[in-house]
Chain A
């Protein structure tokens, strides 16, 4: 899949923006706070059905405006067919927000139906939190990546979260004494939806590990081995994956903390408290890894994501969104990243300046567009800059 065209109306800092993209590399060049990330956010929004920066869709609407429209037009690498996706966000006079998604011009019933239609792998600064952040950041990074591989995961998460919210409300603020049968009914559902969620995460993490290990090996020049492990909040990691065993252990764990949960009024056990661990040989990389090792792990994880997703898509390619991460990677790792990308893959990249690594990357591409972004204006650089780059690369 590659995106040919995007049109945004009253989106973030853009009153109206229409862009034609190159099939391969698209570089957004500009100062901080110019609006580069907003363009990637719009693509992300239609790929994931939500923004990566906010839970509140209304923040996407331009200040003092009531209606926002994001439209993307893509083409399949596999069969050449086109795909159009659209999101329309409208504020009513009563200030309630209505979001409508359209797939090929037809409104869809739920936003879960657009998730993964434009397959993306993201590499944002926030992805470095896979290592440096809290367990919550690791879970959400895993879920976001999994949703692209298996869009049903979106519904899995919604189902679990709804049950968890119901149980949490029951424990927190009972208008009457807690009915043990209601609690038990919710626990049974928590086990059913929770074990399904855990199973999906564990299976996916194993696949990521398979591809991330050789990548990390290359990055560290064979100095150490990377292992990933899913860490349920109530159990040492499971060696054998079986839904029955998961359901049983989760149920037992819930029974064990029942009195604590009732006393504290909180849902204490479930996949909303799980974690992912990264080990370099036997050491916890989140605690003991150096900055460089941690960056290599994130990079290996991202490269593995691309490969795992490629498995699902077969002949289709993913779209890569790189937001300002080049600055975080040293030239060796930059090179590793850029070298490992499928040349057919469409890349959207934001940066504050073009360094030699990026110029090399652009020069390698079969097609590239450079857009200069400043204060809500996006201008496509014409041949000037490209010829400069080419002239430079000829000198090399």
Chain B
């Protein structure tokens, strides 16, 4: 490859190729795109990369990504401080934020319990969660927003075991049919879950 491309170009292509989902062809396309842009644009792009890496850290309270510590959500006075939502990944937090419906606080675990991947409770932000529950006495209710997978279920059951003795109200988000979906096309396992998680009308 170094034989064809001039050195800085080869390096640029190689760097792009390290990104997830980028193969050799896409990497070449992106590199040639970079060369076509003006110097100012590329300056701004590279600054954005460096700035993001430098300034973004995790909030020491909820472990969301933020450049403030504690983060904007934890310090906001508009937030309901009696409600705490537990998610596994910051991306799940953003998905919930986009709904605009949830106004409580968050706690990001950064993973799920999975012995197959060597991840146990001590590898997650779990002791930090328990510490929060004992120090932030305003928290009255916890919502678990963990995925409906074996690992999500294990982590939810685990959290139920360690949180229930604290006497805090605990629930898990409902699983079932997608909005706008057809019941007849739903698979039986999803329907079973939807029936067992039914709610009164």
Contacts and interface: CB of A to CB of B under 8 A. Distances in A.
Interface string B181-193: 0000001110000
Interface stretch (B9-17, B29-37, B112-120, B132-140): B112-120
Interface string A100-135: 000000000000100000000000000000000000
A189 B150 contact: yes
Contacts of B114: 166
Interface string B147-187: 00011011101100110000000000000000000000001
B57 interface: no
Contacts of B157: 184-185, 188-189
Contacts of B113: 182, 185
Interface stretch (A157-165, A206-214, A335-343, A376-384): A157-165
A182 B162 CA distance: 10
Contact of B116 (A112, A155, A156, A169): A169
Given A166-B115, A175-B120, A179-B120, A185 B158 contact: yes
A179 B114 CA distance: 12
A159 B150 contact: yes
A253 interface: no
- Most central of A163, A175, A185, A189 by chain B CB within 10 Å: A185
A152 interface: yes
Interface in B115-135: 115-116, 118, 120-122
Contacts of B118: 175
A162 B118 CA distance: 15
B115 A163 contact: no
A182 B154 contact: yes
A186 B154 contact: yes
Nearest to B154: A185
Q: Which range holds the interface residue count of chain B?
A: 20 to 34
Interface centre among B115, B118, B162, B188 (most CB of A within 10 A): B115
A176 to B, nearest CB: 6
20 contacts: A112-B187, A152-B189, A155-B187, A159-B189, A163-B150, A166-B115, A166-B154, A175-B118, A175-B120, A176-B120, A179-B121, A181-B161, A181-B162, A182-B121, A184-B157, A184-B161, A185-B157, A186-B115, A186-B154, A189-B150
A188 B150 CA distance: 11
A189 B115 contact: no
A170 interface: yes
Contacts of A175: 118, 120
Interface secondary structure of B, over-half rule: helix
Contacts of B150: 159, 162-163, 166, 189
Given A166-B116, A184-B157, A185-B157, 15 more contacts: A152-B188, A152-B189, A162-B150, A166-B151, A169-B116, A175-B118, A175-B120, A176-B120, A181-B158, A181-B161, A181-B162, A182-B120, A182-B154, A185-B113, A185-B154
A175 B151 CA distance: 18
A312 to B, nearest CB: 13
A189 B154 contact: yes
Contacts of B154: 166, 182, 185-186, 189
Nearest to A164: B150
Chief secondary structure at chain A's binding surface: helix
A151 B161 CA distance: 34
Nearest to A175: B118
Nearest to A170: B115
A181 B158 CA distance: 6
Given A155-B189, A163-B150, A182 B116 contact: no
Q: Please list the 10 inter-chain residue pairs (A to B) with the smallest Cβ-Cβ separation, ordered nearest first.
A: A185-B157, A170-B115, A169-B115, A152-B188, A185-B158, A162-B150, A181-B161, A169-B116, A185-B154, A166-B115
A167 interface: yes
A155 B148 CA distance: 14
Interface string B35-53: 0000000000000000000
A175 B114 CA distance: 12
Contacts of B153: 185, 189
Interface string A176-212: 1001011011101100000000000000000000000
A269 to B, nearest CB: 18
Contacts of B120: 174-176, 179, 182
A182 B158 contact: yes
Contacts of A189: 150, 153-154, 157
Contacts of A184: 157, 161
B38 to A, nearest CB: 36
Nearest to A184: B161
Contacts of A166: 114-116, 150-151, 154
A225 B121 CA distance: 54
Contacts of B122: 176
Contacts of B161: 181, 184-185
B20 to A, nearest CB: 14
A151 to B, nearest CB: 9
Contacts of A159: 150, 189
B189 to A, nearest CB: 5
A153 to B, nearest CB: 10
B15 to A, nearest CB: 19
